[in-house]
Amino acid sequence: MTSPFTETSGTARRQGFAELAAAGPLQYVVLFTGVPVWLVTGYAEARALLAHPAVVRSPLDGPHRDHVFDDLVNSMDRHMLGANPPDHTRMRKLVSAAFTRRRIELLAPRIREIATGLLDDLAGQASAGEPVDLVDAYSYPLPITVICELIGIPPVRRADFRRWSSVVVNAAVHSPEVYVESALAMVEFIRELIEDKRVDPADDLLSELIAVRDGGDRLSPDELTSMVFLLLAAGHETTVNLITNGVDALLRHPDQLALLKSEPDRLPAAVEELLRYDGPLQAAIPYVAAERIEIAGASIAPGDVIVMALFAANRDDAKYGRGDELDITRPDNQHLAFGHGIHHCLGAPLARLEGRIALGLLFERFPELRLADPDQDPPRYAGLLMNGIRELPVLPNPAGS
């Protein structure tokens, strides 16, 4: 069977995960990268393993490790997502002090402002009557503008960042040379930005991360560059996918979209269902077993690599019933789109906020929005982690037109 991680067809990808899940909640397979892993497709098993103290990150994790020199590794991977306690506990406490829920909530007016400006531009493009790529026009520029403003990145560097991050987050499908070139360019840029903020701090997250302390503790230089690297590379890409996948799913389920339009108070629940149904990630960053783990009839040996197939787990009929159906009225939607346990995504509240604002304003402004070619299966990025649509041609029809 072809690995669903290499499929660029959404239909083929879903079928691939379904076949894997039908064989059991976890099985020992060889990934397209040549690495043997325990692939976990069951919801209960994924949730249990994500919270298991013996399921840990490994310093050997990461793409093209044989080709990446130590200085670059240290500048990219010394963040809390790749750390275990006690380092993870210390870093998360420091970052949480700067990346607060209140800071996120205060972003709402600015997110609406950015989204409204992009929708104004989209309306101008729509006047020509030609299809518009929602990714380029809306799904990408909204979260990248938000995260860059939050961190304090000048607009002139955002095009460079998009080029680098598209390689970094889909590293497994790029050559080692291309990956190292992009990662090195991004790290050098982050280092320059940090030095600028040290000299001239501003009211942004990076300046606060530089200054934040817990007693005598603070983020080290490598931890700081790694955290910015993580926020930039992962912090926007997941939201791009949330918006694009969510729009695609709603347009392909007109009954669900009609319900949402008639009852807009359902928007928060709809976002949770979209995260479950076609979430931004195919899998979590790989883990390693620190000791033998017995689960679901399998015996995971110490040192074995474990990959949580979040996409499959979030459609597990044993948990949800009708897991392959989109239902924005689904109760108690405890999905795994943002992970679980100590590595649950710290930026999840920001992604949810952007998702609610982006989808709400889009369908308010363009209530007759439709897919340019509903019979086409939009192409997706190949790779282990991300579940993203590359382009989504739509035909906007502004309200009152």
Q: CB burial class (10 A; 0-12, 13-18, 19+) of residue 71?
A: exposed
What is the spatial order of strands in the sheet that 55-56 belongs to? Answer: 26-30, 36-40, 305-308, 287-289, 55-56
Nearest to 384 by CA among 324, 314, 313, 309: 309
DSSP classification of residue 6: G
Domains in the chain, CATH or no CATH each: 4-395 (1.10.630.10)
Query: What pLDDT was estimated at residue 78?
Result: 85
- Work out whether the CA dihedral 288, 292, 294, 299 comes out positive or negative: positive
In the predicted model, is pLDDT for residue 59 greater than 70? no
In the predicted model, is pLDDT for residue 114 greater than 70? yes
pLDDT tens track for 225-244: 998 888 877 778 899 999 99
Query: What pLDDT was estimated at residue 230?
Result: 85
CB atoms within 10 A of CB 199: 7
Amino acid making up residue 68: V
Cα 194 from Cα 200, distance rounded (Å): 10
pLDDT tens track for 129-141: 789 999 999 999 9
In the predicted model, is pLDDT for residue 128 greater than 80? no
Q: How much is the average pLDDT of 257-268?
A: 97
pLDDT tens track for 195-215: 999 999 988 888 988 988 766
Higher pLDDT, 158 or 30: 30
The pTM of this model reads: 0.92
Cα 91 from Cα 204, distance rounded (Å): 19
Mean pLDDT of all residues belonging to the chain: 90
Dump the DSSP string for 53-91.
Answer: TTEE--TT-STTGGGS-HHHHHHHH-SGGG--TTHHHHH
Confidence of residue 398 (pLDDT cuts 50, 70, 90): low
What interhelical angle do 108-126 and 141-151 show, nearest 10?
150
